[in-house]
Each structure stands twice: as C-alpha cells, then as structure tokens.
Amino acid sequence: MPPVARESRNGDVPPAHWAFPQLWPGMFHAVRGISDPIQLTARCVVVDSSLPRPRSADVRSSTLVGVLIGIAIMAAVDEIVFHQLLAWHHFYDRSTPSVALLSDGLLHAAELIILVGGFFWFADLRRRRALSNRLAWGGFLLGAGGFQVFDGVVDHKVLRLHQIRYGVHLLPYDVLWIASGAVLLLAGAGVVWWARSRRPDSRPR
C-alpha cells in the first residue's frame, strides 16, 4: 500500500488523508480534484506519523548471531586447513583412523548446521530491521576467538582429543594457537563495547 500523507497549506493539516499515486502521472488528476500535477507536488506534504518506523537494534540477538557464525566459520577453517589440507590431526585421534575420519565428519556436519542456522537468524534480524552490523561483527570475533581458545585449552590439553601436530615440540604451537584465539576474543570484546557505547538508546531484549 502506498504511504499515506497529509496535504498541508500554510502549515494547516486538514484531517482528510490522501495517498500518493505512484504508477503514472495521469493519476494525479484524480487526487482531491487537483488538475495540475505541478501544483500538487509543490505543496508541503506531511507524512502520517502512524507509518511504521525502523526498529532499534536488538543488542543481544545481534551479538549472539555473530557469535554463532564466528564459531562455525572458525570450526570450518580448522577442519579444512588443519584436518584436510595439512593433515596435522583429526578431531578425535585416540582411536582408529576410521573413527578419526568419522569424528571429522561429525564436526563438519555440526559446523554446517550452526552456520546455516546462524545465517537464517541473521537474515531474519535484517528483515525486521533489528540487526546491528557492528555488534554482529563483534560477536563474530568473539565466536571465532572463543572456539580457538576452547579448542586449544579443552580439546588439546584437558580432554586430549587431539594435538595440533604430532612429532614436534608442542609448546610453540600451543602458545600460538591459544594466543591467536585470545587476540580475537579481545578484539571482539572491544568491538562489542564500542558498538554498545555508540547506541545509548539500545537495551538488551
């Protein structure tokens, strides 16, 4: 439906409403008995305040959707680069090669489900005009860094599901792996803080 507007002369807004015709110029002649389109367009038009306005960004959802996508992307990078291209490790290396390949497949399926779900959520927030791009980017960095740190600490050292690489001294690899994740975490936290400080009217919903 075309936007509803009010005709104003000398600042007076009469109660009658009329709609802008948008298809062809001849339709102007049927609006309020005005025969001259130039006369109509020269008048001041006040848009009806009842029209829907853009919603404020959903702070929590904008951040969380970025976190989900960041986790999925970093998991995909880990699985593709270190599991397949470099062949340094599998997700679960404490059993047979068949089990190791199965664990990689399960990891890949999980990251794909999270990625698709995250993008659907992202698209829904954009459709409802409830997405903050800055918060989503901050969440993305938080998710990517969080996955990297969790993998380096929990999977590698606590549960020992696998190591980064075998047959080498692990300390430099572990330090670089966890440190890179920590840098991403700090960067994400900084972006989220900066984005929230620039939106004083936003509040978590």
Tens digit of pLDDT at every position of the chain (205 positions):
555 544 444 445 444 444 444 444 444 444 455 455 545 444 444 444 443 444 578 999 999 999 999 999 999 999 999 999 999 999 999 999 999 999 999 999 999 999 999 999 999 999 999 999 999 999 999 999 999 999 999 999 999 999 999 999 999 999 999 999 999 999 999 999 999 988 655 444 4
- The token duo for 43 is 């008048």
- Residues 177 and 205: their CA atoms lie apart, in Å, by 35
User: Which candidate, 114, 106, 108, 111, places its Cα nearest to that of 64?
Assistant: 114
pLDDT value at residue 31: 46
User: Which candidate, 187, 71, 59, places its Cα nearest to that of 119?
Assistant: 71
pLDDT value at residue 30: 45
pLDDT value at residue 57: 80
5 phi, psi to nearest 5 deg: -135, 170
90 phi, psi to nearest 5 deg: -115, 175
pLDDT value at residue 55: 58
User: Which amino acid belongs to residue 76?
Assistant: A
Residue with tokens 């509803």: 4
User: Which candidate, 141, 130, 153, 154, places its Cα nearest to that of 189?
Assistant: 141
Please report which helix (H) or strand (E) contains residue 35, including its range. none
- The token duo for 52 is 């829907």
6 phi, psi to nearest 5 deg: -120, 140
Contact yes or no for 162/92 (Cβ under 8 A): yes
pLDDT value at residue 115: 98
